[in-house]
Amino acid sequence: MARLAFILFVVGSLGSQISGQSTGLDTCGLTQPDGINTFTLRTASPLGNIPLIHIQYDVNRKLPITSTVMYDNLNLVQNVERVDNFRNVECGQLTNKQQNCANTMRLSLPQKSKVNSEYNSWDRGHLTPVNPMRFSAEAVNATYYCPNIAPQEPWTNRCPWYAVEERTLSRTKSFPSYVMTGTCASDNVVDGNTYYNLTVPDCFWKMACYLDPTTKETNVVAFISENHLIQSTGKAASRVERTASTTTPRAQLDVLNLMGARSSYVETAWLEAERILTEGRGTTGLPSAATCVSTKDISVATVTDWTAFMKLHRPPFDC
């Protein structure tokens, strides 16, 4: 609590100084032969200019593979409101390699028929969400880059997936963690591409790696969210099923199985998170990246703990 109080004091003291600090790309390297471009987004913060989000981006599918951050008490500070600013990253290597998330990701006509025109577009789903970055306007702004965005089933994004995001952040009150969010390696062939032919991932997933506050052992908890449209026929039952599936705590191995040949990118993201994202944070109590990589199973105790914690979430009124 002392560290949180210090951060709140600094936020109040710096005021407009924060907005004057630089933000943007740390580096934008060459796209690798496998079509993956890796870069880090930096931001102004109460602690200075820090690395914020590590991204692995697939230029062929025009989708993020992983978006990884570190959560600690800084992410509990909510000093600014969210302001939408969907846009492309300015990077020569990614020219014409980003989906245009500045425009709504319209549903195709067959997709609109499935949902009985309840929605007109896929949600522009953040991998790393906005709320944990409300400690500065620049940090909020960084989450709106298109390589951190993918088409997401609207109701799922706003209801059960929001619960996963909120609960994952809330646990930071107890312990810091590395949090990785990704899209599945497979495309959504059930619904197909968007109206403008953007690829829709088959699912979203999120993992948190942290030290158990009692045993000091590394835990990794995963959540997986199907990304197929919930059809208007049988909608109520489908939403109940989608909520149960999305909010069920799972093992890292479940995510790795979904990623298939691309599972190695998960290991890379853990290692890069430790190497890059700890700069300037002074955070203690984090697990080593090596143990995040090796902790592929989940204990019964961890499942029980997270299941109970997920039930404490209070959903929005329209869920």
| CATH architecture for residues 2-310 | 3-Layer(aba) Sandwich (3.40)
Strand pairing class (36-43; 50-58):
antiparallel
Q: State how far the Cα of 185 lies from the Cα of 199, in Å rounded to an integer.
A: 11
Q: Please name the residues in contact with 121: beta carbons below 8 A apart, sequence gap of 6 or more.
A: 104, 105, 106, 107, 154, 194
Q: What is the pLDDT of residue 316?
A: 82
For residue 191, what is the DSSP state? T
User: What is the dihedral angle through the alpha carbons of 131, 152, 141, 37, rounded to the nearest 10 degrees?
Assistant: 120
For residue 157, say whether it is annotated as part of any ligand binding site. yes
Q: What is the pLDDT of residue 209?
A: 98
The answer for 304, left when phi > 0, alpha when psi is -120 to 50, beta otherwise, is alpha
Q: Which of 54, 126, 228, 313 is catalytic?
A: 126
Q: Tell me whether residue 228 is one of the annotated catalytic residues.
A: no
| Number of CB atoms found within 10 A of residue 169's CB | 18
Q: Please name the residues in contact with 2: beta carbons below 8 A apart, sequence gap of 6 or more.
A: none
Q: Are 259 and 265 in contact (CB under 8 A)?
A: yes
Rounded mean pLDDT for each run of 10 residues along the chain, 319 residues in total: 36 30 60 92 96 97 98 95 93 89 91 92 98 97 97 98 97 94 97 95 98 96 98 95 98 98 97 97 97 99 97 86
Cα maximum dimension of the chain: 54
Q: What is the pLDDT of residue 268?
A: 97
- For the chain, which residues make up each domain, given as ranges? 2-310
